[in-house]
Structure 1
């Protein structure tokens, strides 16, 4: 029987933003899902709202369950706690679907469009985004704590960082040197002096390696239209592959379309959006050049493949996000392998080399800058059993009585 009999969640104090959900069915299978940010709120939604609706239901009815969980009375369209909980559950249901059929998720979705996908390295270092806050600025006292402390590297020696990435086969990198200048004006102004300082890493990369590597600029939804336009126009001189999430309201299709008309820098968005409707509106308004989505925030694989279909219908490339957790990375990879217009899978080499390995049993294999297709059933990874036994672990269970 494929009915759901138990939901277990797990979070650990060391990584307070991450939460995992395991869904067990009566036939003994266990599916794994994940979400990120506000882990305690997501935990509450899973056990107090999702569990009563899901327990006893057929786990094979993924579309019906997704529709129910993705239409909460409140908590939509953004990636709210309700949507993040729905995303984690949906990823786990697809993991179960693959396991039940003995095939990888990309095959369960309808088959692979490709068996490898190019990786780009988000230059985030070891601790960025893994605790309660982002590490936005690099001060004089900050020192690299290992060979992959890439946020320190892009602020100190961006050219050397590009050379290091190329030596490992990466052909694309993402940096965010403008973030530190947003606070002074709440993102509504950037001075010429600060603009030139933010451009320095791009200049250094081009001086060191020329055009051998693509550069993405992450703007983290920090800017108003005037400042974002000034930044995007300045980036044109460096052939930037995209400017990501340039505006502080990434569901504002009109403002994004206006920005896009004023710059030759391609616009990418947005990991912050949930459900198909905001993406439909952005695409219909001709407001973005590249579709980025985060499967732990947008509604999981069920909603993700619908967004991918929208991207295909508008002939736009797709790029799944990961700067959060290893299960989301695996799910995004399966979608990138399946979706016809996917061009990249985001990775963070610092986390792949360190703490992601402490959390799950398998991680994506990258060879020559290409992420290889997982061939095991389901997502192809599980939580490390030792996680449940950690002193800082908080687990909660809902099950059929």
Structure 2
């Protein structure tokens, strides 16, 4: 079996997502995905990834992973690693199709039948076209044009008690919110005034007043703060018993992250911004995080996601993959968390999996009564919907295998 064609698919409505399809001469089509810098990732896939893979056996996954490391980007979540991640996922999808097994089975089977879920409180307008990044511009906060019942970003900003009650009713163990981002953008993360700090604490007050401790609160800080201000925020939050502080500072200085982690009794979670097991090893060696969050579509694909989870297990640290991106990522995450012994909760976005994910792929993992269930089909268990290729905003780029010319 050989890889005959690699194609990338992008949609103007979802400008952050780059899908990849890897075709074989036996008719298998593997699907992958990554997020952010989609045009640059597409260019890397065709310039650097395709020459490694075209004409090769798609089941030599580890060999291809090593060959796509390249000279730069090997420890980052930059363009090279995002492209490699998408291609690695597509190869695992082919592996599952060939063996007629879901990916979690190929990783060693189920450690659990289902996994607890927490809801990241993004809304319908969080990903479509704008904003193009996780930290919203000030004039986009609370735009308010709800497209359904789960406009959860507006919910945590303005109706946090109602939102928490809704999530408890649906069985979620936790909710992730980021009310501090607005104030970080105003000061570049160097200062938060007492008045602004008090405003940012209001959602936490509303949540605890409405539902008490019936739900965990994950605090997303998006790496926007310097160390002193992050510690100030953490101290102010402790009375509300948050579950974790995620990415409180940039991951550039792990000694500073270690200092932050030691300054609070609340666990530190890090970090979707890190690439490959080597970056996570440095965090684990410093005991700088109590939860490892990684994104398999950023950090090296399914191959590296499995390795990162196993590495964290040796340090007795739990893992949970990041999901506030695209539908293929969600499917990948659940395969990994169903398999990994030290996975304990799965991130999901109810506005996404109940909404636009279903516009793009054929199957989405089931979320029911606060649990996520894996897809059971071969490989990923999902594929791009045929109508994706008929969209007016779809663009596709193709690289094909050219057989060597043998001279007489």
Whether TM-score is above 0.5 comes out as: yes
Whether the 8 Å CA contact 2:142–2:157 is kept in 1: the answer is no
Within 2, Cα distance between the matches of 1:115 and 1:377? 17
SS at match of 2:63: helix
Deviation at 1:140, TM superposition (A): 7.1
For 1:171, the equivalent position in structure 2 comes to: 173
Alignment pair present for 1:316 and 2:317:
yes
Deviation at 1:308, TM superposition (A): 0.4
Instruction: Give matches, 1:166-315, under 5 Å.
Output: 166-247=168-249, 249-315=250-316
SS at match of 2:119: strand
Within 1, Cα distance between the matches of 2:314 and 2:252? 19
Whether the 8 Å CA contact 1:251–1:273 is kept in 2: the answer is no
Structure 1: which 5+ runs fail to align? Answer: none
For 2:40, the equivalent position in structure 1 comes to: 41
Within 2, Cα distance between the matches of 1:373 and 1:322? 14
Could you give the per-residue CA deviations for residues 228-256 of structure 1, whole angstroms, max 9, x where no partner exists? 11111112111101011110x21421010
Whether the 8 Å CA contact 1:235–1:265 is kept in 2: the answer is no
Whether the 8 Å CA contact 2:124–2:151 is kept in 1: the answer is yes
User: What root-mean-square deviation, in Å, do the aligned CA atoms of Structure 1 and Structure 2 show?
Assistant: 1.3
Alignment pair present for 1:121 and 2:123:
no
Within 2, Cα distance between the matches of 1:139 and 1:74? 36
Could you give the per-residue CA deviations for residues 191-210 of structure 1, whole angstroms, max 9, x where no partner exists? 22111111111111010000
Distance 1:148 1:136, change over 3 A: farther
Within 2, Cα distance between the matches of 1:301 and 1:130? 26
Whether the 8 Å CA contact 1:271–1:321 is kept in 2: the answer is yes
- Return structure 1 stretches of 4+ with deviation > 6 angstroms: none
For 1:66, the equivalent position in structure 2 comes to: 65
Instruction: Give matches, 1:123-162, under 5 Å.
Output: 123-132=121-130, 133-134=132-133, 135=136, 137=138, 142-162=144-164
Within 2, Cα distance between the matches of 1:104 and 1:130? 30
Deviation at 1:129, TM superposition (A): 3.2
Distance 1:60 1:336, change over 3 A: same
Deviation at 1:373, TM superposition (A): 2.2
SS at match of 2:123: coil
Task: Give aligned pairs, total.
Answer: 398
